[in-house]
Amino acid sequence: MVLELAKIEAVIFDFIGTLTELKGYSLEEAEQKLYKALFKEGFRIPEKDFFEAYNKSSDKFRLVRYQELVEVTNTVWISDALNCLGFKTQPEDPNLKTALNIFFQGYLNSLQLKPCINQLLTSLRSNLKLGLISNFTYAPVIFASLRNLGINRFFNAVLVSEDVGWRKPNPKIFHEALKRLEIDAEETVYVGDSPKEDIGGASAAGMKTVFLPSQFYTLEDLNKSQIKPDLIVKDTCELAKNLPEFIKTMENRSK
């Protein structure tokens, strides 16, 4: 019996850790800038009190994000922390957004494109649809980074968990990406660095998967997860070299 496999019509990428890496970023420095920005906006709280409330709120919503796979944006837990300290705020308050933009500026500046990515995206874009799915609590950072790095033009669809409301590996965010790209799962290859969120989530959604180790996840992490991708590459230049051939292989007839 001869079975013809579906033609690959699209490649969907994770963003942070897969296409980009963080260099020189300090979370502690960013949190200090957040505190100072909020203080400047009129929330005059002792530093120790603020960070106790902030960390408590962050931990509370982290459970929602990682257990229920529902995304919660940063202003929600900033507002929650401030309200616990006696203020009356809403996540939509402009002064919270102002402080949050300052908080993320260092992160945005630290994101750098990995080697061979421009070459890869250019070659794929000629005959495939390209998508991107990112777990991130503040979507403007992702869209600004895509523009800054000059790669936003390559993508037919960009999904950020803060906008969609669901986090990988929740199947809903993968299904939404397929819907926007107007393709089926079996016509799609997904590339990511997180064994559970990327490889596990995309595989469960019916996509072929490629694992790329990063500064966040190693081959050892993949082995420990016992999740099996369809292809493993060591770095982005190997990805650029091997992905087109892998796609051709997926399109070959199988007996």
**Kind of pairing between the strands at 188-192 and 208-211:** parallel
Domain extent at residue 42: 27-109
**How far is residue 28's CA from residue 50's CA, in Å, rounded to a whole number?**
14
What's the pLDDT at 82?
Answer: 98
What's the pLDDT at 250?
Answer: 82
**How far is residue 251's CA from residue 128's CA, in Å, rounded to a whole number?**
13
What's the pLDDT at 249?
Answer: 86
Co-location of 142 and 183 in the same domain = yes
| Segments in the chain below pLDDT 50 | 1-3, 253-255
Q: Which of 109, 137, 172 is the last residue of a domain?
A: 109
What's the pLDDT at 253?
Answer: 44
What's the pLDDT at 5?
Answer: 58
State pTM to two decimals: 0.94
Co-location of 187 and 164 in the same domain = yes
Number of structural domains (the chain) is 2
What's the pLDDT at 6?
Answer: 74
Co-location of 149 and 216 in the same domain = yes
Q: What tokens does 64 get?
A: 């929602």
**How far is residue 95's CA from residue 37's CA, in Å, rounded to a whole number?**
9
Q: Which of 49, 78, 109 is the last residue of a domain?
A: 109
4 within domain boundaries = no
Co-location of 50 and 141 in the same domain = no
Co-location of 174 and 125 in the same domain = yes
